[in-house]
Structure 1
């Protein structure tokens, strides 16, 4: 998953305060990634990627959050 794709995913999930239980939000992420990047990934793959970002890839997650803060 490219940095731009992860940025888009994190942006949508942070705005919606996603906690892993709201399925409609993940559908929005899937559609947005397909529309903007031509990427087709399942909701489960994206849910796992979100979990990995938060739990295992702290530095990558911090970098994404910094970029999002600068853009606002």
Structure 2
């Protein structure tokens, strides 16, 4: 998964407060990634990637959040 794809995913999941509401947010992420990057990822793949970012890859998650904060 490229850095741009992860950036898009984290942006949507943080805006939608995914940790509290999990309803149809992943479908929105799947659509956005397909539209912007032309990639199809399953909701299970994205859910696992999100979990990995938050639990195991702290440094990369911090870098993504920094980029997102600078863009706002």
Query: Which TM-score band applies after superposition, normalised by the shorter structure?
Result: over 0.9
CA deviation digits over 1:2-61, x for unaligned, max 9? 000000000000001101751300000000000000010100000000000000000000
Consecutive unaligned residues in structure 2, runs of 5 or more: none
Q: Which runs of 4+ in 1 moved over 2 A?
A: none
Over the aligned positions, Cα root-mean-square deviation in angstroms equals: 1.1
Q: What SS does the aligned partner of 1:23 have?
A: coil
> Gaps spanning 5+ residues in structure 1: where?
none
Aligned residue pairs, count: 72
Partner of 1:54: 54
Aligned residue number for residue 2 of structure 2: 2
- Give the TM-score taking structure 2 as reference length: 0.96
